[in-house]
Amino acid sequence: MEIFLGFLAIVVAGVYIWFGIFEVPAHHIGILYKRFSFNGATRDPVAFRNEAGYQPTLKMSGWRYADPIFYRHEIHPWARVEGDKIGYVIANVGHGLRPGQKTAEYKEVYGRFEDIRKFILENGQKGIQRLVLPPGTFLPIHPVGFTIATLAKVFGVMSDLDLVEKQVARTLSYKDFGFTKEDFELTTISNQKMGIVTCLDGSPLPPDAVACRIGEFGDVARKEAELDNPKILKTELWDTRKDKEHELGQKLLEYVLRSNNNLHENFQNPAAFFENGGKMGPQFYPLASGNYAINKKLFSVKIVDIVTVAPGEALVISAGLGLPAFDITDAVFKYGAIVRPGHHGVWYNALSQGQYLINTEVLQIHRAQTNLLTLFFSPNRSSDHGLDKELKSITALSKNNISMTLDVDALAVVPSESASMVIASFGSMHGFIKDFMAARMLGFATKAVRDSNAEDLLDNQETFRAKLKDEMRKELMLFSVELEDIIIQEVIGDSEYMTVRKNRTIAEASKETLKVEKEAEEKRAEKEEATARANRKKDVVNAQTEIQIREDMATARKKEALGEAEYIEKTLQALAGALGQENAMVIQAIAKLAESKHPIVPEAYVAGSGNGSSASPFALLIPMLKDLARGTKDGAKTSEPSEPLSLETKEGATKKI
């Protein structure tokens, strides 16, 4: 009997143990539910004091044992988050949320919620946790203490009867916990974009703050003190210290705009965000382009374009938060307060060409044109910048009560270092154009028109332009704005006056035309007369030249004839001596006839024969006189014979003449 009872006890014990052994598969967890306890039942989903109910200890994969009388076990899978999504943790245990609190506080010691006991010991709170599970999370999390909501599935043991029914029916989803599909998406900011962040939970902002900057502006004050050493004295003239202020402000501007989002991993570490002083409301620094696992129940992110400053622009920042306002221009600039970057007011230093991460919902930005700014005071023209689209032509009465209309162009330049002064005074470039330049231009132009007659305005536009330009330049110098030029495009009077002026102009033009034509006719007549005189003078000169030539020829012929006469005379004298007086007289008579240009020439002369008879002297001279007569008739100059004339005497001797 004892042996039987012992065997029975062993069998019963074996069966008891057998029913208490269970296996936990890989990537699963086992939890125990205590059926009864001497400590009573717990009021919480998890019994942390050994009460009846779900126990906090997780059974990991493998063979496990639990007393089958006191416990029953359940097997649940690990919580899994998809690779490109985030998951939310909802705590079913812990302290309740404070009034107004939307999400449960998170501490670094909570880890990824794997240890439920530590969560309770560190005063964890119920509700949606501020830390989200990043993409690809795969963890053993207590399914009763925490509900894990993902886009694909909800992990955990539901306690609400409606949720239990849905879970059993496999219709339970993230929608039953107030989530939307977008809540599980990563926050993606593309290139050329930025994210404006607003914290939806936490401690409220101070009454005088419009946004939360981690560390507030204490670090800015320390940086300013470091840069302002040696201190720039306000007792110095502004023109002397403005370059120092610009250099200091530029460094301070870069420091203030440099993001400190790395302190809380770009809003992905809620514990660090709140530990460093994060507050509810707009955040000072935006997010740069990238992908972020951000709790959308804690932070909202608005995607906007990055701030781009184009060439020829300056960006002036006006801050409604920061260190107390301290006007660095003192009493020199009386139209608005100019402060250093990081202070409350219009920052002295403007941003030049580039791209910047600036929360435009916290800091006001004003664009100022720093290239040549052309303004058309005309209803029919407008520049590309559009600042002059509301400008009209200037109309005023002249001194003689003629309505005059002026179309004027103004060319100005706003230097980058002067842009803050313009914005501080007028709030925007549009205000500067409308409330200042247009008003001043209208005032000066109207006064100039009233002080002048219509005729003077129309005929002396350059004088009017120079006066208007001088007045406008003086006004713009108050804001360190440079006026390049004033151009008068058109000045016209009323239609009746312009008609009268036109008719008068036409009449004067006609009169002038007649005068010009008369002068042209007179000049033409003078020219023709001068041409005729020149032609006559030429003929006179030619005639005089011809006369002179003829006189010269006559003189030459006269001299030639005198030479021939002298030669003949001498020849005759020689002949007279040789031939005798009687024959010489005959020859002389013939010479006289030759001088009278009568061509009388003997035909032949026969010399004496060999019988010694003498020949006639007349016949002896026939060849000589024939040559002489021929030469005279031809008008050629008679030259002396190449050989002397030979005469034969009675004695038979030959005598050369």
**Contacts with 10 (C-beta within 8 Å, 6 or more apart), sequence order:** none
For 165, left (φ over 0), alpha (ψ -120 to 50), or beta? alpha
Q: Are residues 95 and 138 in the same domain?
A: yes
Q: Low-confidence residues of the chain, pLDDT below 70?
A: 331-332, 572, 575-657
Describe the chain by its helix, strand, coil percentages, rounded to 5. 40, 25, 40
For 367, left (φ over 0), alpha (ψ -120 to 50), or beta? beta
pLDDT value, residue 57: 93
Partners of residue 62 on adjacent β-strands? 24
- Average pLDDT for the chain: 84
Q: Are residues 172 and 197 in the same domain?
A: no
**Contacts with 630 (C-beta within 8 Å, 6 or more apart), sequence order:** 599, 601
Residue position matching structure tokens 């069998």: 11
Specify the 3-state DSSP secondary structure of 455: helix
Rounded Cα distance, 598 and 596, in Å:
6
Q: Are residues 506 and 618 in the same domain?
A: yes
Q: Are residues 351 and 422 in the same domain?
A: no
Q: Are residues 384 and 469 in the same domain?
A: yes
From the CB of residue 226, how many other CB atoms can be counted at a distance below 10 Å?
A: 11
**Structural domain total, the chain:** 4
Q: Are residues 445 and 400 in the same domain?
A: yes
Tell me, yes or no, whether 68 lies in a domain: yes
Domain boundary among 472, 493, 514: 493
Question: What DSSP line would sit under 286-336, residue for residue?
Answer: PB-SEEE---TTTEEEEEEEPEEE-TTEEEEEEESSSBPP--TTTTS--SS
Check which CATH number belongs to the domain holding 399 and give it. 3.30.479.30
- Cβ–Cβ < 8 Å for 366, 315: yes
pLDDT value, residue 621: 52
Amino acid symbol at 208: D
Q: Are residues 241 and 351 in the same domain?
A: yes
Tell me, yes or no, whether 195 lies in a domain: yes
pLDDT value, residue 581: 62
Q: What is the pLDDT of residues 198-242, one digit of tens each?
A: 999 999 999 888 999 998 999 999 999 999 988 887 777 877 888
- Cβ–Cβ < 8 Å for 197, 304: no
Give the burial string for 256-288 (b: 16+ CB within 10 Å, else e). Answer: bbeeebebbebbbbbbbbbeeebbbbbbbbbbb
Q: Are residues 209 and 314 in the same domain?
A: yes
> How would you classify the pairing of strands 290-292 and 646-648?
unpaired
Q: Are residues 544 and 577 in the same domain?
A: yes
Domain boundary among 368, 384, 406: 368
Partners of residue 91 on adjacent β-strands? 127, 146
Domain extent, residue 253, equals 187-368
What spatial distance separates the first Cα and last Cα of the chain, rounded to whole Å? 217
pLDDT value, residue 502: 73
- Cβ–Cβ < 8 Å for 67, 75: no
Tell me, yes or no, whether 9 lies in a domain: no
Q: Are residues 224 and 81 in the same domain?
A: no
